[in-house]
Amino acid sequence: MPPIYDLVCLSHLRWDFVFQRPQHLLTRFARERRVFYVEEPIVGGDEVRLDCTLRECGVWVAVPHLPDGLSNTETQLALTGLMDELALKHTIHSMVLWFYTPMALPWAGHLTPLATVYDCMDELSAFRNAPVDMQRLEQELFAKADVVFTGGQSLYDAKRHQHPSVRLFPSSVDVQHFARARTPLCEPTDQAGIPGPRIGYYGVIDERMDLDLLAGIAEARPDWQIVMLGPVTKIAPENLPGHANIHYLGPKNYEDLPDYLAGWDVAMLPFARNASTRFISPTKTPEYLAAGKPVVSSSIKDVVRPYGESELVLIADTPDAFVAAVERLLIDDGGARQARADGFLAEMSWDRTSSDMATHIASAIAHAQFHRITTRLFHEQSVPTYQPAVPE
């Protein structure tokens, strides 16, 4: 019988920011158990409080609020208290702690879970403005975790010697959802007036984006229209390429992405090659393929292997090479490539990934319980039994 537990997740990502790996996995876990998704605190106002709301997907989203001006010690004490408040208010007893960020360890590490999971989906220490304590706290999290999942092959290669139980779980795909883009759909109003051919991207637009590559493509082919969907973070708007044929349409709901994809001729991954992209494994790669779109990407390691090596995605790093790859795809009927892509995607699903993860968590719980029992028995047997003195 599977172990009964609530899942408490600590994340650096806002639940409503972009629908990605955490949302895919935790909404599936919420079908069978209570899931609490605790975001990083929002600082401002004049009180310490925890806002907790139940979403339609079944996940409880908890947002800590802290006043301005707290010291580091006061911050940790306040957040520790809010975690205790969450557990008390919702009668959380048997829990699994699931970390996306090591930075939550100081205020959640006092809890006593059945098991601790670290789902390492990014090398957060390589991101711009990363906290100075990130690497130290990650090492503490490795020491505390019962099982570690990694979101891509590169991360697995980097982390597998740092913990005895590291499991590779590349981001998966909801094929049925994105396959809707293979049929004519109602054109979104903000994209309908953009002529073709359209080269599209969706996702966060931040320091991982190769802005020079984007500008070079736009300049080389002013007759192509580049559609960019997603929030802009860590980049000042004035620093984005402002060419007339680049269209920044802002964030979109996950449910609406197939509607936009259906109107693209080619999908792209124009990532920079720097420290922040060294270990990324873009979820959108299989999503583009499930939508039936030809794809061009810069040489991100986890895209090159396996997608580039299997010729499911064309790889290009310079504007000239990127333009040549897009031109090739625009005249290719894509039938053979799509058939191979469909075969590759047939083994991928978020349902399967979450189920396999749950199996590893159950094993981790069993192992942790066995360790606690044997440790207790060892100490009981090691304590000398009191023997009263025998009179001579």
- Helix ranges (H only) for 267-318 are 284-290, 301-303
User: Residues 167, 187: one domain?
Assistant: no
pLDDT in tens, 294-313: 999 999 999 999 999 999 99
User: Residues 211, 245: one domain?
Assistant: yes
User: Residues 335, 254: one domain?
Assistant: yes
User: Residues 278, 153: one domain?
Assistant: no
Tokens of 83: 């975690």
Task: Tell me whether residue 228 is in a domain.
Answer: yes
Task: Tell me whether residue 205 is in a domain.
Answer: yes
The per-residue pLDDT for 1 is 62
For 106-139, give the DSSP string. HHHTTS--SEEEEEE-S-GGGSTT--TTHHHHHH
Alpha-carbon distance of 169 to 137, in angstroms, equals 22
Domain count, the chain: 2
Closest C-alpha to 233, from 255, 247, 250, 214: 250
User: Residues 300, 362: one domain?
Assistant: no
CA 87 to chain centre: 25
User: Residues 69, 81: one domain?
Assistant: yes
Tokens of 13: 């990502």
Q: Which amino acid is at 17?
A: F
Task: Tell me whether residue 383 is in a domain.
Answer: no
Tokens of 359: 């199996």
- Count Cβ atoms below 10 Å from residue 210 Cβ, excluding itself: 20
Task: Tell me whether residue 391 is in a domain.
Answer: no
Task: Tell me whether residue 389 is in a domain.
Answer: no
Alpha-carbon distance of 135 to 47, in angstroms, equals 31
Task: Tell me whether residue 223 is in a domain.
Answer: yes
Helix 21-29 to helix 350-382 angle, to the nearest 10 degrees? 70
Whether the per-residue pLDDT at 54 is higher than 70: the answer is yes
Task: Tell me whether residue 1 is in a domain.
Answer: no
User: Residues 229, 83: one domain?
Assistant: no
What's the CATH code of the domain at 94?
3.40.50.2000
pLDDT in tens, 165-219: 999 999 899 999 999 999 988 899 999 999 999 999 999 999 999 999 999 999 9
Alpha-carbon distance of 34 to 46, in angstroms, equals 31
User: Residues 256, 159: one domain?
Assistant: no
Whether the per-residue pLDDT at 291 is higher than 60: the answer is yes
Query: Domain containing 196: what range?
Result: 175-345
Helix-strand-coil split of the chain, %, nearest 5: 40, 20, 40
User: Residues 166, 181: one domain?
Assistant: no
Task: Tell me whether residue 295 is in a domain.
Answer: yes
* CA distances for 141 relative to 98, 134, 136, 148, 158, angstroms: 11, 10, 9, 10, 16
User: Residues 101, 152: one domain?
Assistant: yes
Tokens of 204: 């966060």
The per-residue pLDDT for 392 is 47
- From first CA to last CA, the distance across the chain in angstroms is 58
User: Residues 252, 280: one domain?
Assistant: yes
User: Residues 325, 367: one domain?
Assistant: no
